[in-house]
Amino acid sequence: MRLPQEIIRAKRDGLTLEPEDIAAFVRGLTDGTVGEGQAAAFAMAVFFRGLALPERVALTRAMADSGTVLSWALPGPVLDKHSTGGIGDTVSLVLAPMVAACGGYVPMISGRGLGHTGGTLDKLGSIPGYDATPGLDTFRQVVRRVGCAIIGQTADLAPADRRLYAIRDVTGTVESLDLITASILSKKLAAGLDGLVMDVKQGSGAFMATLPEARALAESIVTVAEGAGLRTTALITDMDAPLASAAGNAVEVAYAIDYLKGLRREPRFHAVTLALAVEMLVAGGLARHAAGAAERLEAALASGRAAEIFAEMVTALGGPADLLNEPEKHLPAAPVRRPVHQAGTVAGIATRDIGLAVIELGGGRTRPEDAIDPRVGFTDLAGPGSSGGLLGIVHAADEAAADRAEAALRAAYRMGDAPAERPAILETVRSGEAAAA
């Protein structure tokens, strides 16, 4: 068993690490014997040198086994979805209760914002009283009683990943295919799932900017997951524009509530949400085919049952009982709201820059210890081909911040001819296809 610095050196020099070396380094991440600098150096070495498939599997399993691995005895399948991250990606907040309304159980372990993308955990943090890091007993009870619970990583679940995740966010190593794969799947393996559906984003607002990059990540995740015994399908979805017209924390929770209540169902957002949920129902045996799954999910929305489950989840985890009916009473609002107008037709969007503008407003982090302002962000963001004149509404803490956000929003939009329509779902990757590739 080598010292941490020797493991780092071996990977820096492009050598293949043995499973026992990877396991030893992960133990050091967990017990603190690997320092912050060493963890950052390891992440950078992996970023540049990469990991072979056996190394990815070894890293994933070691991080999953670094804490408690849950097991469930429930009357339905235990299912989950994970996104690689994007702008306006509010899907988790609505998908979990939709699947629960159809008989699935969704113990969703989510993360904080990573790089330029928003994090589900940060969004939930804008709900007063919501406990995103409950004990495992509470987590189990809520999943069993409500059907879903969205929480963050506790000290018990994949603690090695929790530490490395925060370091990657601020060391320029977020985009590593190997580290993304291990980070995502270690949490999912620790959650004791029966099936997983991945949403791999591709486009200007994604970590994977090109389709080949996104396909490589999708295939990596599906192959490693299947090797670890977890049935997984990956959808590659469009992130050349914000998925929802809201980007921020409280503003995205408000958007999710509107979606569940039927007040707002934007086509691209609905298409991606439905496609992911369909895969989950089919994987869990809750529907025989995609058409039947879609019908069940639409019925769960139309009946209001999905919205009710979301409200039950929020209350069970300490949030206000009337959030669904009176979100404006509880969700924090920014003191400055400024519409930004621009004549012409939206020809293209530098989507990543919108995410960076949210961080600049205070809605994300530049250091792991940074506090987040849940009030800030953008709403009513224009999509490709829009010619209504409104680029979006800035939600800011003060006028100076609003000035900077307005300038960033204008710079992120390119006006000209309307672009060709881009499908929301670009590709589907399944286990046999990934192995063949």
| 183 catalytically annotated | yes
Which secondary structure element, helix H or strand E, spans residue 269, and what is its range?
A: helix 267-283
**Is 187 noted as a catalytic residue in this protein?**
yes
| 168 catalytic per annotation | yes
Q: What type of residue sits at position 425?
A: I
Q: Is position 176 annotated as part of the catalytic site?
A: no
- Catalytic: which of 21, 65, 80, 178? 80
Angstrom distance (rounded) from CA 334 to CA 393: 11
Counts of helices then strands in the chain (DSSP H, E): 18, 12
Q: Rounded to whole angstroms, how far apart are CA atoms 375 and 396?
A: 7
> Is residue 216 classed as helix, strand or coil in its secondary structure?
helix
| Catalytic residue, candidates 61, 123, 187, 201 | 187
Which one from 66, 83, 126, 181 is the annotated catalytic residue? 83
Pairing of strands 425-429, 231-238: antiparallel
Residue 3 vs residues 6, 163, 406: alpha-carbon distances, Å: 5, 19, 50
- If you count them, how many residues does the chain have? 437
Catalytic residue (choose from 66, 90, 120, 126): 120
Q: Which amino acid is at 61?
A: R
Q: Which of 11, 56, 61, 81 is catalytic?
A: 81
- The reply to whether 80 belongs to the active site is yes
Whether residue 188 lies in the annotated active site: yes
Burial class (CB in 10 A: 0-12, 13-18, 19+), 41: buried
Alpha-carbon distance 371 to 374, whole Å? 9
Give the integer Cα–Cα distance in Å for 384 and 435. Answer: 35
Q: Considering the candidates 11, 56, 61, 82, report the single residue annotated as catalytic.
A: 82
Q: Which one from 56, 61, 162, 168 is the annotated catalytic residue? A: 168
Separation CA 100–CA 83 (nearest Å): 18
Specify burial of residue 136 (Cβ count, 10 A radius: 0-12, 13-18, 19+): middle
Cα distances from 296 to residues 92, 99, 166, 222, 289, in angstroms, run: 18, 9, 38, 26, 11
What are phi and psi for residue 125, nearest 5 degrees?
Answer: -65, -15
Check residue 129 and give left, alpha or beta (phi > 0: left; psi -120 to 50: alpha): left
Instruction: Give the contacts of 74 (CB within 8 A, at least 6 positions apart).
Output: 105, 143, 144
CB neighbours of residue 124 within 10 Å: 25
Catalytic site residue from 188, 201, 268, 365: 188
Active site residue 83: yes
Rounded CA-CA distance 194/256 in Å is 26
For residue 196, the SS3 value is strand
Identify the three-state secondary structure at position 240: coil
Asked if 353 contacts 391 with a C-beta cutoff of 8 angstroms, the reply is no
Residues involved in catalysis:
80-83, 120, 168, 183, 187-188
